[in-house]
Chains A and B, each alone.
Chain A
Amino acid sequence: MQAPRWRQKPLTYLIPLFVGSFLLALILALNWPRPHVESAAAPAPVTSNGAALVSAPPPIAATSTELPREAATPTEAVALRSFEDLIDDLVRLGQRTAELAQQDDVTAATESDQQSRARFGELMERFKDAGERAIGMATTLVGDPASPTTSGDALTSGRRIVLQLVLRTECERRHSGAAAANDYTRINALVQAALDVMPSTPITALVGEHVLNKQRFLRAVHEPSVLGLVKLAAEERFPREIATQLLLTLWDNLQLYNERSSDEMSRLALLLLTDSDPSQRTAACRQLLKDPRYRGLVLAWLREHNDTNVANEIAGLAARELPPAEALALLRELAPILPRATSAYMVLGFRAPEAVADNYRELLATNTNSNIRCDLVSGVGMARTPLGLEVAQLALQNDPSLDVRMRAVFALTSRGEPGIAEKSLMQAFDDPRLTSDPIRVGSLVLALQNLEASGDMNAIDRLGQRLRGLAMDAKSRETLEAILHRCLPGGQSATPGGSPR
């Protein structure tokens, strides 16, 4: 048998094969997509340790976001795909993770979550201009960010969330590098780009707010742009709330970075206090309230102008930001201008229930400021704590003011405890000063509504029977019958003292 030809003359075949392989390898080497091609085009990286940057946790709420260091090496899949495709990949991965978590498949969800982290890390490593790209892509998103109703909207919403994450992470890493090198050029430029596109669409406004609000990225250099947004808000071309929040953040940062002293800010605030623009006024009030030296001035200004809208804003700011004792003192000072500040007291009731309760007991002992007592009882009573229960029961039992007692009834019926709710309403029914006033009876009907969720038909039946016998306005009677119809079989009460079932 004759040997094959290639065995007879191997070089004849091997040489072309070697040459061919070499050429193929050369072509592949020249055309293989290089993972860091964008980084070469981008400005100098903010730090020499890229992996460390990517491993920084993206600052999103309630998530454990430390990225795996091994994600720093881009995979082939990532290297081949565009920025937009990678964002969509992340949206899909996120949705998949959510589905798996919903199905209680913990192992698969964790795996999918890890994959998301790795992909995200790869994306951030590959695109050193990820922030600018995220801003660019955000401007192309269309839809109603407030109410995603279609699958298209859900995709847009998912993209927005991922883009926010990318932009925030990019801001974080540039900020870290800037702080180390004391050169904020790159982070300032990125923030400026985000501010510039914010008025474009509702989505870019949201993205910008998410990334910049209550963060340290806004600096003095951005002041004209922030004031530009405030101006647009005045013309109703930009969301007022976002403009105000960014202005507040800017003012905080100006002091944080010593770009303006506290005294300078206060002087500016004094000038802006009379500004007709609500955002500027809010920022001015907040600045002045923070400094006890100027607090009296704000109150004097308010008394002079008797502006309840500003007074409401100040009450809210005080409740959220001042130490509780100072906030309570300020709210009391505001009372002549703002007889009711229930929401502010509720904020304080969650923040510092003991302080609110003490304040109530003090005013009850002196039987003064019944309007404030109303708000204090609601403030601490609506928080569903044991202290709230104690204060509401104290008020219902002992407060001379019927208004305060009514607030206590609402607080006691809203706790989701039918026994307490029924007892408090029965106690109210036994007070002829309450039951002889049709308007107050109407309020008791509204309090009965709070029992609906408890599903205690017997209690609702007993209370309903008592209420049916009382005089009230037509609208309240209609409400009462509607409640009974919803809660009792056929809306019919049982015989007195009996059970509907």
Chain B
Amino acid sequence: MITKFLMTAAALVFGLQLAAQSSCPKEFAENQPGRIEYGASQNCGSVTYSFGGVTVTTTNGGCPLFALITPPHQKAARTNMETMVQVTGTVPVTMHYFVCVTRYWLFIPIGTSCQFDRMVVAYSLDRLTTIPCPAPKPQS
């Protein structure tokens, strides 16, 4: 009888602890570096282009259809700490389109014919910050 009571009590305590733990997602805002990804290349020379401190350069005769520029941001990552992430705002992921200007048919292509066309916001990412999980409420 006593053994059964003790086991039930232990299970209850353990269960409550688990419940308290599971209410905290144990995540933190992990910084992600900015990145540039390029679309397929058009065959008309390379391009160097700067935007917001980021320079887009294609080295080998490639004029990308687009460059997708993701600024530094955060993503939720697992941790052992009693923390969680909070969304504090948004950051824009921008898409930069390039076009081949085929006005010149030059034998020697002095002057690039790959030109920036336009920039749009393609989507947004959440800006995150790490905050402590709320303390578990005392059981009544």
Contacts and interface: CB of A to CB of B under 8 A. Distances in A.
| Nearest 9 CB-CB pairings of A with B | A94-B108, A414-B120, A343-B37, A94-B110, A443-B124, A442-B90, A61-B43, A62-B44, A473-B89
Contact of B90 (A98, A161, A343, A439): A439
B107 A94 contact: yes
A443 B122 contact: no
A456 to B, nearest CB: 15
11 contacts: A61-B43, A62-B113, A94-B107, A94-B109, A116-B108, A161-B109, A374-B123, A407-B123, A413-B120, A450-B120, A473-B89
B25 to A, nearest CB: 16
Interface in A53-72: 60-65
B34 to A, nearest CB: 13
A450 B113 CA distance: 26
Given A93-B108, A447-B121, 14 more contacts: A62-B102, A98-B106, A158-B110, A209-B60, A239-B59, A320-B40, A346-B39, A350-B65, A410-B120, A410-B124, A413-B120, A439-B126, A446-B92, A453-B120
Contacts of A407: 123
Contact of B60 (A213, A342, A413): A213
Contacts of A206: 59-60
Contact of B39 (A60, A62, A93, A347): A347
B5 interface: no
Given A241-B59, A320-B40, A473-B89, A410 B107 contact: no
A64 B55 CA distance: 31
Interface residues of A, number: 61
Contacts of B92: 446, 449
B48 A146 contact: yes
A393 B106 CA distance: 42
Interface in B90-138: 90, 92-93, 95, 100, 102-111, 113, 118, 120-124, 126
A97 interface: yes
Given A62-B100, A209-B59, A382 B122 contact: yes
Interface of A: 60-65, 90-91, 93-95, 97-98, 101, 113, 116-117, 120, 146-147, 158, 161-162, 165, 206, 209-210, 213-214, 239, 241-242, 245, 316, 320, 342-343, 346-347, 350-351, 374, 378, 382, 406-407, 410, 413-414, 416, 439, 442-443, 446-447, 449-450, 453, 473, 475-476
Contacts of A473: 88-89
B61 interface: yes
Nearest to B90: A442
Residue picked from B88, B100, B122, most chain A C-beta under 10 Å = B122
A346 B59 CA distance: 21
A378 B95 CA distance: 11
Nearest to A211: B60
A378 B123 CA distance: 8
A351 B110 CA distance: 30
Nearest to A209: B60
Contacts of A93: 108
B7 interface: no
Contact of A406 (B44, B103, B113, B124): B124
A306 B15 CA distance: 31
B108 A90 contact: yes
A146 B109 CA distance: 16
Contacts of A382: 66, 95, 120, 122
B83 interface: no
Given A98-B110, A346-B39, A62 B60 contact: no
A97 B103 CA distance: 12
A406 B93 CA distance: 13
Interface in B43-63: 43-45, 48, 55, 57, 59-61
B123 A406 contact: yes
Given A245-B60, A350-B40, A351-B40, A116 B107 contact: yes
Residue picked from B55, B87, B107, B111, most chain A C-beta under 10 Å = B107
B43 A62 contact: yes
Contacts of B39: 343, 346-347, 350
Contact of A101 (B93, B106, B118): B106
B42 to A, nearest CB: 9
B108 A342 contact: no
A373 to B, nearest CB: 13
Nearest to A341: B37
B11 to A, nearest CB: 34
A450 B109 contact: no
B87 A410 contact: no
A146 B56 CA distance: 10
Given A61-B44, A446-B92, A342 B109 contact: no
Given A116-B107, A416-B118, A442 B68 contact: no
Contact of B108 (A97, A351, A406, A475): A97
